[in-house]
Chains A and B, each alone.
Chain A
């Protein structure tokens, strides 16, 4: 980390206020921290719940059972199904959105009027709340009057059942997710592409390096911090996906789309099984924490390297 150099750069003009100087950064970040911690106190309550046998409809049974909720997961096929679906969903959506977002960003890289206009238009799906987007797609895939169902029939998929069939349910929710969130990827990556320095490309062009090679050797490595930031934010949202799936299929058909948040939501609100619901969410939290840690470590490393190189 560049701690030492930064401190040196920032050596104050006068040394008189060095005490308050040292306190300043803490003072600046304290309010933000306090506000977040205030909301996060319930987090510890949730940890406590997750260690209990706690079902609202059976208050007389409430007791500490320590890790039993977690241990039960080991032998619970529903839990493993949830874990698998959540990870599949998260990696498929983030992966596809990354590819698509990158491709679109490359298409729109040159800041022409048309490209700028298109990039703003493409933000529209992002402006649509996922819950409402799911509703829109539900209308469009209605087998009676849905326009997409009609198109499907026209191109020969007579029996396209979208979210209603176990074969296409995952495809359908991923499609909606892609529709909503690819613009987010696209805009972050576009910002990255447009801020890349020109010299390496000019040099490479002079050396006659083909464009494809330029992409792999220069664009992609320099873009990596952006890719990681964008993917991180998407991954956090995606692994916690609720709105789209709940609105489209409530986790069905069968258990096909029972991701963590849907399962935990149903566990709390329908079954009022607070202990299990909290334990599920704790696992989800641990999972996101773990995944994002990897991302951030790499991100910081890449940033430092990018700085070092220039």
Chain B
């Protein structure tokens, strides 16, 4: 089956046919665009087989633990190609995001050998790595007998790749020479502005380019449009409230979460004057122009409100804005994107990196690596980005692909430019250390208290710093 189709696709790959005629040709054979994508990738995958013995682990079976996410959908859509390429079988468990990380912690802390690899964020590996639950992937990346020659590790965006590597020393710089690659970047998110162009226009405000303008624009756009609020940012009592827009702006002003002394001791740095001033602005922004139920907002309320036309802007993950511009959202097709720097000038967004990691309790790491290098390889990256919603890709080769850029430029105004401008400064801005989730969640709780005026900002930050320092000392880090 599919012989005719394969012939067309091979012709395309040999360069005898352009992409458009290929899709048209396939369409004539009754093949939908998405299926055509899989077929193209299948041919690309067959081409892969030439240089590397993918079949080495043929007959083996893997199980993955995955979060319900478009990246997962894109991977599953293409999975048959991997099975064919490697002769391996791949099973997977998909859990809703609300409970996903708890499931991962439960599985890993019980040393379950059920899952061979799983999706994770880079922050999580600051726990998983020291706990001994994930491997240092460098061991495989650098082993030519285990990694296919076209894997092209250097193709991964540098800031992203380094953000997934840490030497395990509290406060140790990410991506240092002695760092261990705790996870492999898969897809990532920069935190920038996504906005409703009509609403901004109606209010006669331009796209804000610094913190003060952001406050002003949020207030104005809220006043000029009925029944909306100005700006969506996360607010739930979770570390996830801190890491998107909030930390991106904070880091852009040159502020740190913690400082590392020369003898490696950590100390809180949230109560500097600049930080207090920034917190005051952020809090005012939420009080004046944020969602009334801000303190329960996770990424999906932030996104849904923008998509439903209930908010004018979000300062959050760019891909959240991307998704809200499609599907059945009321505002689909009406959103636009812009980079944002709190200080003005070059943006330096903090990033979230959906990554893949191999579990130390996997029974066959070499076989698992076969899957890992395919899933994070350039072929699947290009397939996912151009055919599915596998944005943002972590490989510069995918970003260089004209078809992908064109697709974004057509339906997502400003998206490509935003990415290109922000990518050089995009990296994780937190200090890597084992108390990340405790301290960052506490930061979010403090922010909630400041927004609800339970505590004045100066006092709140001093209390937070005291508490952070105490916990660092207790844990032997401060």
List chain A positions with a Cβ less than 8 A from chain B. 55-59, 61, 138, 141-144, 159, 161-167, 248-255, 266, 268-273
| CA–CA, A268 and B449, complex, Å | 24
Contacts of A266 in B (CB 8 A): 441
B359 at the interface (CB under 8 A from A): no
Contacts of A165 in B (CB 8 A): 295, 452
| CA–CA, A143 and B301, complex, Å | 11
Sample (7) of A-B pairs whose CB atoms are under 8 Å apart: A57-B131, A159-B292, A164-B293, A251-B237, A252-B296, A269-B101, A271-B437
Chain B: number of interface residues, binned into ranges: 35 or more
Contacts of A249 in B (CB 8 A): 236-237, 295-296
B455 to chain A: closest residue by CB: A254
In the complex, the answer to whether A250 meets B238 with C-beta atoms within 8 Å is yes
In the complex, the answer to whether A58 meets B310 with C-beta atoms within 8 Å is no
In the assembled complex, how far is the CB of residue B155 from the closest CB belonging to chain A, in whole angstroms? 31
In the complex, the answer to whether B291 meets A255 with C-beta atoms within 8 Å is no
Q: Is the interface of A mostly helix, strand, loop or mixed?
A: loop
Take A58-B434, A250-B238, A254-B449 as given contacts and tell me if A163 and B105 are in contact as well, using a CB distance cutoff of 8 Å.
no
Contacts of A271 in B (CB 8 A): 435, 437-438, 441
In the complex, which of the residues B127, B238, B446 contacts A57, with contact meaning CB atoms closer than 8 Å?
B127
In the complex, the answer to whether B237 meets A252 with C-beta atoms within 8 Å is yes
In the complex, the answer to whether B452 meets A144 with C-beta atoms within 8 Å is no
In the complex, the answer to whether A56 meets B236 with C-beta atoms within 8 Å is no
Q: Which of B423-478 contact A (CB under 8 A)?
A: 434-435, 437-438, 441, 445-446, 448-449, 452, 454, 475-476
B103 to chain A: closest residue by CB: A269
Contacts of B294 in A (CB 8 A): 164
In the complex, the answer to whether B437 meets A144 with C-beta atoms within 8 Å is no
B132 at the interface (CB under 8 A from A): yes
A254 to chain B: closest residue by CB: B449
In the complex, the answer to whether B293 meets A250 with C-beta atoms within 8 Å is no
| CA–CA, A235 and B77, complex, Å | 49
Contacts of A59 in B (CB 8 A): 130-132
In the complex, the answer to whether A55 meets B434 with C-beta atoms within 8 Å is yes
Contacts of A269 in B (CB 8 A): 101-102, 105-106
- Most chain B CB neighbours (cut-off 10 Å) among A163, A166, A167, A270: A270
In the complex, the answer to whether A254 meets B475 with C-beta atoms within 8 Å is no
In the complex, the answer to whether A56 meets B127 with C-beta atoms within 8 Å is yes
B126 at the interface (CB under 8 A from A): yes
Contacts of A167 in B (CB 8 A): 452
B308 at the interface (CB under 8 A from A): yes
In the assembled complex, how far is the CB of residue A218 from the closest CB belonging to chain B, in whole angstroms? 48
Q: Which of B391-420 contact A (CB under 8 A)?
A: none
In the complex, the answer to whether A254 meets B437 with C-beta atoms within 8 Å is no
B450 to chain A: closest residue by CB: A254
Take A57-B127, A272-B109 as given contacts and tell me if A254 and B452 are in contact as well, using a CB distance cutoff of 8 Å.
yes
In the assembled complex, how far is the CB of residue B311 from the closest CB belonging to chain A, in whole angstroms? 9
In the complex, the answer to whether A143 meets B292 with C-beta atoms within 8 Å is yes
A249 to chain B: closest residue by CB: B296
B140 at the interface (CB under 8 A from A): no
In the assembled complex, how far is the CB of residue A138 from the closest CB belonging to chain B, in whole angstroms? 8
| CA–CA, A193 and B69, complex, Å | 53
A273 to chain B: closest residue by CB: B438
Contacts of B102 in A (CB 8 A): 269
| CA–CA, A271 and B438, complex, Å | 5
In the complex, the answer to whether B126 meets A250 with C-beta atoms within 8 Å is no
Contacts of A163 in B (CB 8 A): 293, 296
B460 to chain A: closest residue by CB: A254
Q: Which of B253-277 contact A (CB under 8 A)?
A: none
B239 at the interface (CB under 8 A from A): yes
In the assembled complex, how far is the CB of residue A264 from the closest CB belonging to chain B, in whole angstroms? 13
| CA–CA, A272 and B476, complex, Å | 16
In the complex, the answer to whether A254 meets B131 with C-beta atoms within 8 Å is no
